[in-house]
Amino acid sequence: MLPAHIDESVLPDEVPWVYTRRVAYAKALCIARQFPTAVVLGADSVVVLEHHILGKPRDPDDARQMLSRLSGRMHTVMTAVAVLHYARHVVCLDVVQTLVRFR
């Protein structure tokens, strides 16, 4: 497993499923360019509450606030996967979403 050093910022007006798909693809592409004959898998997951992406918590207090906001509510976890073979120009992308309810 190799880390893909990419910008994971949300673009203006970008909807969650587009963001998740774009980031998974960017991660895979970053590594696939380094290993063009390899099959590369990139993935990304985000938590979405009321159509807003909850980013990575900045610190433990931020994490507690996020968990508190999610408590007793439905939210969506979106996961995107990208499979690439750079040399053969093969790209497969998919996004799945799961509804989650915290107590």
Active site residue 59: no
Q: Give the chain's length.
A: 103
pTM: 0.90
pLDDT at position 54 is 93
Catalytic residue among 13, 44, 59, 61: 44
Percent of the chain clearing pLDDT 90 (strictly above): 93
Q: What's residue 61's pLDDT?
A: 96
Q: Kindly tell me if the per-residue pLDDT of 44 is higher than 90.
A: yes
- Give the residue from 8, 20, 74, 14 showing the smallest Cα distance to 46: 20
